[in-house]
Amino acid sequence: MIEIKNVGKSFQGKEVLMDISATFEKGKTNMIIGASGTGKSVLLKTIVGLFSPNKGSVLYDGRDFHASTIREQKIIRGEIGMLFQGSALFDSLTVAENVRFPLNIHSDMSESEKDDKVNFYLKRVGLENAAHKMPSEISGGMQKRVGIARAIVMNSQYLFCDEPNSGLDPQTAWMIDQLIHEITQEYNLTTVIVSHDMNSVMEIGEYIMFMYKGLKIWEGTKDEILDAEPKELKDFLFSNKLVRTFKGI
Amino acid sequence: MRRLGEYILFLKKMFSNREPLTTYVRLFFQECINIGINSLFLVGFVSLFVGAVIALQMAYNIVSPLLPKYIIGLATREMMILEMAPTLSAIVFAGKVGSQIAGGIGTMRITEQIDALEVMGINSASYLVLPKIIAGMAMLPLLAILSAALGIWGGYLATIFGNLSPTEDYIYGIQNTFVSFEVPFAIIKAFVFGFIVTSISAFKGYNVKGGALEVGKASTDAVTASCIAILAADFILADTLLS
């Protein structure tokens, strides 16, 4: 479980996050949604420790990340996996080497154990035949799947995804959403997804938090979201035809 | 001044929260190949021709019959060892390796590969930059030694094919009044220049913000800043070590 408490962040005097609190539960697909420029990615990067908050705290199963020592943070980071918007695969490494990379850094496994684990996770994401390809030789959807395999190869407890299906066709985007959802349940992960894609929200969102101009405006489930009151959320939701169809308007 | 402060903090960051030594050893040898061995041809080619041109121009300028012909060899040796080998190699190194480092790290920055390293708990500055700096400081002195040797050989070839002087005179010239400190002096210069080129280029790449345009600009800035720093350091080292 991840708790964020009263998190605030500003850049050069401009407040980007204002007093945000939320709880992301284990085994659930938690989603942070909102229009572009509302601070979703900044919040995600603050949660994973790429930014330090100006105030507030981020707790990983009770462990305050930003108040921890570097050694303690490194232990928590060993439990974190992250899928980036552009996949962020290392260009100079093959698919298998990318997945193996966190194992080389964090684990004491033998080479054969690492090989077995890499093969297992590549098979899990359906890429066992692409192990020796370079990232530039595979499609965007395959890159995302490699990113997922790399994110969970360390038996991660926490999975973060920044716009996991941006730039993908609807079918591949659906497949990536399903894969993230399955993996979350299969490995009982605490998954946090930043997205502005309402298709994803309606497919896999179990806990949803809506942000607007650095503020948390609403939280709830996908069953509740269509009847939510805040005007900002309604404006965001009903700009999407799929949601209008759901709602019957 | 602000950029200088950021540069110093960047260097400091490399030494905090480092990875195990074995990680760096492997990366160091990779970088030695990437930035050292792959620069061999260019540095060698430039040095050979610079040595030949120095010999040709010395012969052209010796108009007095009172000046001995061995001056050609002596001048080629002095210019190559004292200045051309370390400084010219460093300038070539900045153009080839500096832009490659800044472009490579800059691309990693804008494609979030550096963020991915940080999320994995890796000190990205240390992991990406430290092996490059150490490899640069190890390889540029070796390149400078090679450059000096090839430059002197280039002068020898020019003497033969340009019929500038008897080869015995050239050989005598490169041995005459040789001050052995010039070799460690050149190595010290190359060592410092190796640090300057790799650290400045990495700093420029690491701090890229934006897109492909900014990566290109960082590469150009890395070469420009490295060249300026090399020439300034060249003056300071010559003034300090030769006076």
Between chains, do B23 and A102 touch, taking CB under 8 Å as contact?
A: no
Name which of B17, B105, B119 to mutate to probe chain A: the one with the most chain A Cβ atoms within 10 A of its Cβ. B119
**pLDDT(B151) > 80:** yes
> What's residue B66's pLDDT?
84
> What are the boundaries of each domain within chain B?
21-242
Name residues whose C-beta falls within 8 Å of residue A105's C-beta, 6 or more positions apart in sequence. B19, B23, B120, B121, B122
Instruction: Report whether pLDDT(A87) > 90.
Output: no
For residue A229, the SS3 value is coil
Nearest Cα to Cα of residue A99 among A165, A162, A143: A143
Same domain, A120 and A210: no
Shortest distance, CA A48 to any CA of chain B (angstroms): 7
| Contact assignment for A85 to B23 by CB distance below 8 Å | no
From A79's Cα to the closest Cα of chain B, the distance in A is 9
Q: Is residue A241 part of a domain?
A: no
In the predicted structure, residue A55 carries a pLDDT above the cut 90? yes
Low-confidence winner among A51-65, B14-28, B226-240 (lowest mean pLDDT): B14-28
- pLDDT score of A163 more than 70: yes
Q: Which residues of A fall within a CB distance of 8 Å from B112? A: 84-86, 88
| Whole-number pLDDT of residue B15 | 82
- What are the chain A neighbours of B115 within 8 Å (beta carbons)? 45, 50, 84, 88
Which of A156, A172, A201 terminates a domain? The answer is A156
Whether A45 sits inside 8 A of B115 (CB atoms) is yes
Give domain status of residue A152, yes or no. yes
Asked if A64 and A86 sit in the same domain, the reply is no
**Phi, psi for B56 (deg, rounded to 5):** -60, -45
In this prediction, residue A242 carries a pLDDT of: 65
Model-level pTM greater than 0.80?
A: yes
Q: Which of A73, A80, A88 sits opposite B112 (nearest CB)?
A: A88
Q: Average of pLDDT values for A42-62?
A: 93
With a CB-CB cutoff of 8 Å, which residues 90-119 of chain A face chain B? Answer: 90-91, 101-102, 105-106
- Closest alpha carbon to B7 in B240, B206, B214: B206
Amino acid of residue B18: R
Q: How many CA atoms lie within 13 A of B38 on its CB side?
A: 14
Q: Which of B112, B117, B124, B127 to probe the A interface (max A CBs under 10 A)?
A: B112
Residue type, B164: L
Q: How many CB atoms lie under 10 A from the CB of residue B150?
A: 22
The confidence score (pLDDT) of residue B16 equals 79
pLDDT score for B238: 93
pLDDT exceeds 90 at position A13: no
CATH code of residue A197: 3.40.50.300
* Closest-CA distance of chain A to residue B67, Å: 57
Tally of residues, chain B: 243
**b/e burial code for range B165-192 (CB count within 10 A of at least 16 → b):** beeebbebbbeeeeeeebbebbbebbbb
| A173 — pLDDT class (breaks 50, 70, 90) | confident
> Using a CB-CB distance cutoff of 8 angstroms, which residues of chain B are in contact with residue A159?
none
Mean pLDDT of A36-46: 91
Whole-number pLDDT of residue A234? 83
Long-range Cβ pairs for the range B22-28 (8 Å, 24+): B23/A105, B23/B127, B24/B130, B24/B131, B24/B134, B27/B127, B27/B131, B28/B131, B28/B134, B28/B135, B28/B138
Q: Is the pLDDT confidence value at B134 over 90?
A: yes
Average pLDDT of A23-52? 92
Contacts of residue A182, Cβ cutoff 8 Å, sequence gap at least 6: none
Domain residue limits at A92? 82-156
Q: Measured between CB atoms, does A80 come within 8 Å of chain B?
A: yes
Which one is predicted more confidently, A222 or B155? B155
- In eight-state DSSP terms, residue B18 is P
Q: From A149, A146, A197, A145, select the one nearest A172 (Cα to Cα).
A: A145
Determine the pLDDT at residue A248.
65
Identify whether residues A172 and A136 lie together within a single domain. no
Q: What percent of chain A has pLDDT over 70?
A: 96
Q: Do B111 and A45 touch (CB under 8 A)?
A: no
How many angstroms separate the first and last alpha carbons of chain A?
37
Pairs across A and B, CB distance < 8 A: 47
Q: Provide the ipTM.
A: 0.88
Q: How far apart are CA B100 and CA A41, in angstroms?
A: 30
Mutate to test the interface with B, among A46, A58, A91, A153 (most CBs of B within 10 A): A91
- Mind listing the pLDDT tens digit for each residue in B176-214? 988 989 999 999 999 999 999 999 999 999 999 988 999
Domain count, chain A: 2
pLDDT tens string B61-87: 888 888 888 999 999 999 999 999 999
Nearest to A191 by CA among A230, A151, A222: A151
Domain co-membership, A139 together with A36: no
Asked whether residue A124 carries a pLDDT value surpassing 70, the answer given is yes
Q: Is A71 within the bounds of a domain?
A: yes
Q: Residues of A with CB below 8 A from B23's CB?
A: 105
Residues A71 and A90 in one domain: no
- Alpha carbons A172 and A249: distance in angstroms, whole number: 28
Q: Judge whether A116 lies within some domain.
A: yes
Predicted confidence (pLDDT) per residue in B82-102, tens digit: 999 999 999 999 999 999 999
Q: Which amino acid belongs to residue B234? A: D
Which residues in chain A have Cβ-Cβ distances shorter than 8 Å to B111? 86, 88, 91
Single out the residue in A156, A179, A202 at which a domain terminates: A156
C-beta atoms surrounding B65 within 10 Å: 6
Q: How many CB atoms lie within 10 A of CB B62?
A: 17
One domain for residues A87 and A114? yes
Residue A236 falls within a domain, yes or no? no
As a whole number of Å, the CA-based R_g of chain B is 21
Q: What is the mean pLDDT of residues A64-93?
A: 90
Look at residue A235 in the predicted model and tell me its pLDDT: 83
Q: Which of B99, B94, B201, B82 is nearest to B147 (CA)?
A: B82
Say how far apart CA B182 and CA B145 lie, in whole Å: 11
- Is residue A15 located within the same domain as residue A53? yes
Are B209 and B221 in contact, with CB atoms under 8 Å apart?
no
Rounded to a whole number of angstroms, the distance from the CA of B214 to the nearest CA of chain A is 18
B-interface mutation test, from A45, A68, A82, most B Cβ less than 10 A away: A82
Mean pLDDT of chain B: 92
